[in-house]
Amino acid sequence: MTTRDPLVEVSGLTVDFGPVRAVDGLSFTLEAGGALGVVGESGSGKSASAYALLGLHRGTGARVGGSVRVAGTDVNTADDRELRALRGAGAAMVFQDPLSSLDPYYPVGDQIAEVYRVHRPVSRKAARARAVEVLDRVGIPDAARRSRLRPHEFSGGMRQRALIAMALACEPGLLIADEPTTALDVTVQAQILDLLHDLRHETGMGLLLVTHDVGVAAESVDEVLVMRHGKEVERGPVARVLGAPREPYTKELLAAVPRVETRRVVPVPPQRVAEDEAPLLEAVGLRREFGRGSGRVAAVDGVSLTVHAGRTLGIVGESGSGKTTLGRMLVRLLDPTAGRLRYGGREIGSLPEKELRSFRRDLQMVFQDPVASLNPRRSVGESVADPLRAAGESDEGRIRDRVGELLERVGLDPGRYERYPHEFSGGQRQRVGIARALAAGPKLIVCDEPVSALDVTTQAQVVELLSELQRELGIGLVFIAHDLAVVRQVSDEVAVMRRGVIVEQGSADAVYADPQDPYTRQLLAAVPALDPGLAAARRTARKELARA
């Protein structure tokens, strides 16, 4: 056998955005048919590296240095025509957000056909036929009819399948997938990863998978490259890097990844809930409807739960399961359509706003998006002071002192009172959000996806902070998240939601170790495993579950 050129050969790659060096001397090769995972946290330069493989920085003002050869094309020196010939035919890319990555105005099949005709001299009709063929191949049922639909008429998972179909159309030697499952629910993510896995084995194409999620990489690649600050930290076979990391950063990263197998670690065991201890918050048959007339839907359809002081209730579910609506009702940011909500023994579900005011300071909320939930035009100190002012505090000196204490308590420098949100990192902004929730001295905090916008290392710190505060202040927590592993790490009790109802509820250990509901089992089987051997086993389990 003659030696062949590698499919991808990158050497000394640099990408500069103005004064910022996003990629700093990256080198790697990928053999034909191989699969490489590029893993890193936000800002590590992983996506910028992937874009450089197709010359996508051209014309954007970014400066690219070093050399990149993909499928025989020297990307950095190729002219526009050669580059266009490579894009889509030699190497194809799948993007993160499948909705915005397709043109909203044209039918999906036409978009795939358009790309196909760029590279193959075929008639419009033949290109359309090819589009239907690849849509069928990626598992879109009734592909001929669906190819005439526009992207908004597809579900999230179907859209990502359609993008993969577009990538397959010209049978490229390399598939570059940039966070292909980040915008998807965990069960859909598992389906897409399984599809990529099967396609790779069937077509023999190479895969370069860019992801922040180590579990996703473990499921899909042979080799993994860990990036940080634009540089390679560690590279090697996936089982070795994830099983026996050599570099401190890799170890730190892996330690921070929440694992669904890991139960909550509590240094001091929480006080047992006495049989007769009254719950802090109790919901019975809570229901919330949206819309009018025939368009009326119940986002939450009869949910009953209890939250105890000093303990955490985790609520886990996929998008559209009603978990956010439920969370907002628990603190009365939304009015329940029906059902009862009792706080400290008093019915507050239908209390008018005026009488509710005295309860507002006890019930607080931390939101998902730390950027959008802070007013960008006010200093963080002012934002944290809001609940104090709302509670009637008017002494400026006392407010300042208290805000300083709160900022310090959540691990921020109290001297940054006058700073604005954009001067803080994502994790720090979430700390500000937590400080604001603490300001009024709450008894219960509902956290709605508090860490899902954060990198894993930051995620771990924020989770740690929340449980510290809980131990210290004895607050009851409701922790809403789509990530099963995170929920397990923080929760004493867990409720699994689907389509507005709780399908399973119990102690975290019981639900995770011995799930009773088929949906819970499906969810757990979909969680990517860090160990490639376990990942393969889970893949088999998924296929069995699907067949059953």
Partner 1 sequence: MTGFLLRRLGGAALVLLALTALLYAIFYVAPGDVAQIACGPRCSPAQVAQVTEQLRLDDPVYVQYAHFLQGIVAGRDFSTGTGTEHCAMPCLGVSYQSDQQVTQLILAKLPVTGSLVIGAFAGWLLLGVGTGVLSAWRRGRLTERVLTWLTLAGSATPVFVIGLLLIIVFCSTLQWLPAPSYVPFTENPEQWAWGLLLPWTSLALIESAKYARLTRSAMLETLAEDHVRTFRAYGVGERAIIGRHALRGAVAPVIALSALDFGSMFGGAVLTESLFGIPGIGRELVHAVKVVDLPVVVGMVLVTGFFVVLANAVADLLYALADRRVVLS
Please tell me whether residue 87 binds partner 1 under the rule CB under 8 A. yes
Instruction: Tell me which residue of 320, 224, 314, 305 sits closest to 260, measured CA to CA.
Output: 314
Which C-beta is closer to partner 1: that of 127 or that of 238? Answer: 127
Binding part of the chain for partner 1, among 97-105, 193-201, 454-462, 520-528 by CB under 8 A, reads 97-105
Quote the CA–CA distance of 159 and 107 in Å, as a whole number: 12
Which C-beta is closer to partner 1: that of 85 or that of 334? Answer: 85
For residue 76, the SS3 value is coil
Question: Minimum Å distance from CB 454 to partner 1?
Answer: 23
Please tell me whether residue 73 binds partner 1 under the rule CB under 8 A. no
Of 24, 31, 97, 517, the one binding partner 1 (CB under 8 A) is 97
Q: Which residue has the tokens 């030697």?
A: 173
Q: How many amino acids of this chain bind partner 1 (CB under 8 A)?
A: 29
Question: Minimum Å distance from CB 134 to partner 1?
Answer: 13
Please tell me whether residue 181 binds partner 1 under the rule CB under 8 A. no
Question: Minimum Å distance from CB 84 to partner 1?
Answer: 4
- 133 burial class (0-12, 13-18, 19+ CB within 10 angstroms)? middle
Contact 310, 481 (CB under 8 A): no
Which C-beta is closer to partner 1: that of 146 or that of 308? Answer: 146
Instruction: Tell me which residue of 457, 370, 368 sits closest to 43, measured CA to CA.
Output: 457
Of 48, 68, 102, 341, the one binding partner 1 (CB under 8 A) is 102
Instruction: Tell me which residue of 254, 265, 190 sits closest to 508, measured CA to CA.
Output: 265
Which C-beta is closer to partner 1: that of 8 or that of 487? Answer: 8
Q: What is the DSSP string of 474-538?
A: --EEEEEES-HHHHHHH-SEEEEEETTEEEEEEEHHHHHHS--SHHHHHHHHHSPPSSHHHHHHH
Which C-beta is closer to partner 1: that of 104 or that of 269? Answer: 104
Question: Minimum Å distance from CB 482 to partner 1?
Answer: 22
Question: Minimum Å distance from CB 45 to partner 1?
Answer: 18
- 152 burial class (0-12, 13-18, 19+ CB within 10 angstroms)? exposed
Please tell me whether residue 119 binds partner 1 under the rule CB under 8 A. yes
CA-to-CA dists, residue 113 to 85, 133, 163, 318, angstroms: 16, 11, 12, 33
CA-to-CA dists, residue 141 to 118, 128, 255, 379, 407, angstroms: 26, 16, 40, 52, 53
Of 32, 85, 284, 541, the one binding partner 1 (CB under 8 A) is 85
Please tell me whether residue 101 binds partner 1 under the rule CB under 8 A. yes
Of 13, 30, 54, 221, the one binding partner 1 (CB under 8 A) is 54
Contacting partner 1 within 401-420 (CB under 8 A)? none
The sheet carrying 346-347 orders its strands as: 297-307, 281-290, 338-343, 346-347
Of 7, 56, 183, 233, the one binding partner 1 (CB under 8 A) is 56
Which C-beta is closer to partner 1: that of 93 or that of 434? Answer: 93
Contact 229, 22 (CB under 8 A): no
Please tell me whether residue 294 binds partner 1 under the rule CB under 8 A. no
Please tell me whether residue 30 binds partner 1 under the rule CB under 8 A. no
Element (H, E) at 289: strand 281-290
Contact 366, 480 (CB under 8 A): no
- 285 burial class (0-12, 13-18, 19+ CB within 10 angstroms)? middle
Quote the CA–CA distance of 184 and 530 in Å, as a whole number: 19
Please tell me whether residue 100 binds partner 1 under the rule CB under 8 A. yes
Question: Minimum Å distance from CB 126 to partner 1?
Answer: 18
Question: Minimum Å distance from CB 117 to partner 1?
Answer: 9
Contacting partner 1 within 133-172 (CB under 8 A)? 150, 152, 163, 166
Please tell me whether residue 92 binds partner 1 under the rule CB under 8 A. yes
Quote the CA–CA distance of 537 and 427 in Å, as a whole number: 34
Question: Minimum Å distance from CB 248 to partner 1?
Answer: 36
Quote the CA–CA distance of 321 and 301 in Å, as a whole number: 10
Which C-beta is closer to partner 1: that of 57 or that of 539? Answer: 57
Q: Which residues bind partner 1 (CB under 8 A)?
A: 54, 56, 83-89, 92-93, 95, 97, 100-106, 111, 114-115, 118-119, 150, 152, 163, 166
